[in-house]
């Protein structure tokens, strides 16, 4: 990175957004927009050509998404600082960007000063995430931890118990499950009791919630 000027590449498929980001940066001091890309492929080509200090990436672009651009850059050993600037605040988008190698993530509703501060932070090797994005990232990590824990508990069940659990979660009665599998009502009840004991869940509502968290469908 230059001592006085941060070289920035802007990638977004909307020209008005690129112009807006350029205007925001040029309203501050120490920024030089060295290129603009309207697609993922173009972003990679221009980054390789200009070697900017920071690339500002949208997530939704033609040819390659921002996530795909990030993955290709990191897979190729490119350490350009990447700040995602997106309208998407869903936890999975945020987590996907971080896993792909993003150094920062702001929403397009961010104030101009926040964008400039984030670019400076990323150029200096620091992270830059808006409070809303940090909250969503925390939420995504908690959800992932819950799903992992559910899958680990699910491994305690036999294949037949997993099948019964799926039907119970889908709202089917023991009689309906017995008829589907061609087994006795008592056998289904035995499976249910074993499932509840292994998972330490005592209600059908609890089993249903667990099945949803574990991604089981009846």
Residue 138 domain flag: no
CA separation, residue 121 to residues 1, 22, 72, 73, 124 (Å): 12, 17, 23, 20, 5
Quote the pLDDT of residue 49. 96
For the cut 90, the answer to whether the pLDDT of residue 89 exceeds it is: no
- The residue from 130, 164, 181 where one domain ends is 130
Please check whether residue 210 is in contact with residue 150, taking contact to mean a CB–CB distance below 8 angstroms.
Answer: yes
99-117: pLDDT as tens digits? 899 999 999 999 999 999 9
Q: Residue 218's pLDDT band (boundaries 50, 70, 90)?
A: low
The count of domains in the chain is: 2
More confident residue, 30 or 150: 30
Answer yes or no: do 78 and 177 share one domain. no
Answer yes or no: do 164 and 71 share one domain. no
Quote the pLDDT of residue 3. 60
Quote the pLDDT of residue 140. 66
* Long-range contacts of 144-147, Cβ-Cβ distance < 8 Å, separation of 24 or more: 144/95, 146/213, 147/213, 147/214, 147/215
Identify the CA nearest to 60 among candidates 12, 129, 8: 12
190-205: pLDDT as tens digits? 999 999 999 888 888 8
Question: What is the domain range of residue 106?
Answer: 6-130
CA dihedral defined by 120, 124, 126, 132, rounded to 10 degrees?
10
For the cut 90, the answer to whether the pLDDT of residue 138 exceeds it is: no
Which CATH number characterizes residue 72's domain? 3.40.50.2300
End-to-end Cα spacing for the chain: 55
Quote the pLDDT of residue 2. 45
């Amino acid at each position: 990175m230059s001592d006085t000027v941060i070289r920035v590449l802007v990638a977004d498929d909307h020209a008005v957004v690129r112009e807006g980001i350029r205007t925001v940066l040029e309203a501050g001091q120490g920024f030089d927009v060295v290129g603009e890309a309207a697609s993922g492929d173009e972003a990679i080509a221009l980054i390789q050509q200009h070697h900017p200090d920071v690339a500002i990436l949208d997530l939704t672009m033609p040819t390659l998404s921002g996530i795909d651009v990030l993955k290709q850059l990191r897979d190729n050993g490119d350490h350009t600082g990447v700040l995602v600037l997106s309208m998407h605040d869903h936890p999975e988008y945020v987590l996907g960007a971080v896993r792909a190698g993003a150094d920062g993530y702001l929403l397009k509703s961010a104030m101009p000063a926040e964008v400039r501060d984030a670019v400076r932070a990323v150029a200096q090797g620091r992270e830059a995430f808006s409070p809303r994005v940090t909250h969503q990232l925390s939420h995504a990590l908690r959800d992932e931890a819950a799903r992992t824990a559910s899958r680990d508990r699910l491994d305690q069940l036999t294949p037949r118990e997993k099948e019964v659990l799926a039907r119970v979660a889908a709202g089917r009665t023991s009689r309906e499950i017995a008829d589907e599998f061609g087994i006795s009502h008592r056998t289904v009840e035995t499976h249910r009791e074993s499932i509840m004991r292994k998972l330490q869940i005592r209600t059908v509502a609890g089993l249903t919630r667990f099945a949803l968290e574990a991604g089981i469908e009846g």
